[in-house]
Structure 1
Amino acid sequence: MTEKIQKLNPDTAIDIAYDIFLEMASENLDPADILLFNLQFEEKGAVEMVETAENWEQEIGVLIDPNEYAEIWVGLVNEQDEMDDVFARFLISHREENREYHVVWKTN
């Protein structure tokens, strides 16, 4: 019997990702990127749930089922309201009892 996964509410997934981002950004981003993010977040900042990509295996070295994870991006949007400066991409499990996550941080 296949277990039906209760998917994360988008707002909950965004909150989880943003909390992790705030906690870990200083250890994983360049100081210049942190300064840029802090200065521009109020005006251009965005935390968005996007369609879960299927290429996470290349990023994290583990094959995942895209249906079992939410993908969240944290970054800054441009004048066209498109996120063109992504500081972190999150993959968060929908499984509440085993809330694993992976993060790919911006590199310069």
Structure 2
Amino acid sequence: MTTEFQKLDPDSAIDIAYDVFLEMAGENLDPADVLLFNLQFEERGAVEFVETAENWEEEIGVLIDPDAFAEVWIGLVNENDEMDDIFAKFLISHREEDREFHVIWKK
């Protein structure tokens, strides 16, 4: 028996990731990074929905189905519009009734 579920649309995944980021950044990032993010976000900030990587097992120790999760990155972009300073990578379950997420914070 397979259970069908509605995938998160990119905007919803971005909203969830950004809300969690704002709530948890102070506890998980270096104070200098929090300050940098706050000062630079208006000019260089980005929250991007990206293709779900298949190497999350290496990061979180659990094998995941990339089709069952959305991935969102939060960081700052450079002059070439490339995200070169990533503060957090989010893995968010598409299952609304069992919404789990994992975060890799900048070290």
Question: TM range, normalised to the smaller chain?
Answer: over 0.9
Which consecutive residues of structure 2, in runs of 5 or more, have no partner in the other structure? none
SS of equivalent to 1:20: helix
More deviation in 40-49 or 4-13?
A: 4-13
Alignment correspondent of 2:21: 21
Structure 1's consecutive aligned runs of 4 or more residues displaced over 4 angstroms after TM superposition are none
Alignment correspondent of 2:41: 41
CA RMSD of superposed structures (Å)? 0.6
Post-superposition offset of 1:25: 0.2
Which consecutive residues of structure 1, in runs of 5 or more, have no partner in the other structure? none
CA distance in 2: counterparts of 1:76 and 1:6, whole angstroms: 30
Matched, 1:32 2:48: no
Post-superposition offset of 1:67: 0.1
Q: How many residues align?
A: 107
Post-superposition offset of 1:4: 2.1
Q: Name the aligned partner's letter for residue 18 of structure 2.
A: Y
Post-superposition offset of 1:75: 0.2
TM-score by structure 1 length? 0.97
TM-score by structure 2 length? 0.98
CA distance in 1: counterparts of 2:38 and 2:60, whole angstroms: 27
Matched, 1:74 2:64: no
SS of equivalent to 1:103: strand
SS of equivalent to 1:14: helix
Post-superposition offset of 1:59: 0.3
